Amino acid sequence: MNITALSIPDVLIIEPKVFEDDRGFFFESFNQLDFEKVTNLFPRFVQENHSMSSRGVLRGLHYQLPTKAQDKLVRVLQGEIFDVAVDIRKNSPSFGAYVGVLLSDSNKKQIWIPKGFAHGFIVLSETAEVSYKATDYYAPQFERSIRWNDPELNINWNLEGINPVLSDKDSSGSLFNRAELFE
């Protein structure tokens, strides 16, 4: 496994060792001991989510407030997405900054998104299936959403002619400067 810190060092790209031959491929998508050894992080995943979306679907920017905040390990099972993590920790040197990465079934990269980050993605392929492990359970009363197109965040979603398709919840997310954030 190869781990790379992004421009916000708490957000990591994880690239598994892939074994390919004429039959296809095999890789270990997660190994607790290896992850702990390489990252010095000790997650305990309690929930795994799986979504399927069509081209242009934008999900996010989602997070849960402290006491129910979640670390997430995200990967694409089929298709391609542009994945974004926004630092919403008020005392962080990268507060309000974001990182974005292309995740796909072909590059097999995963992104580690720690607590204190809002998360979202847009589907760039015809369809995409995304799986993400979480370290706490979904708790709707703690869930919050920030608008994907917040002018203060100024996220470059690499839309390339895509008109994002949003849920009602995501369409009515908070502006960043009015959102409940992490202290």
- Residue positions annotated with a catalytic role: 62, 132
DSSP class of 175: P
Within a 10 A sphere around the Cβ of 136, how many other Cβ atoms? 18
Q: Which stretch of DSSP H or E encloses residue 84?
A: strand 80-87
66, 182 contact by CB (below 8 A): yes
Interatomic CA distance for residues 86 and 116, integer angstroms: 8
Angle at CA of residue 141, ends 178 and 171, nearest 5°: 50
Three-class secondary structure of residue 73 per DSSP: strand
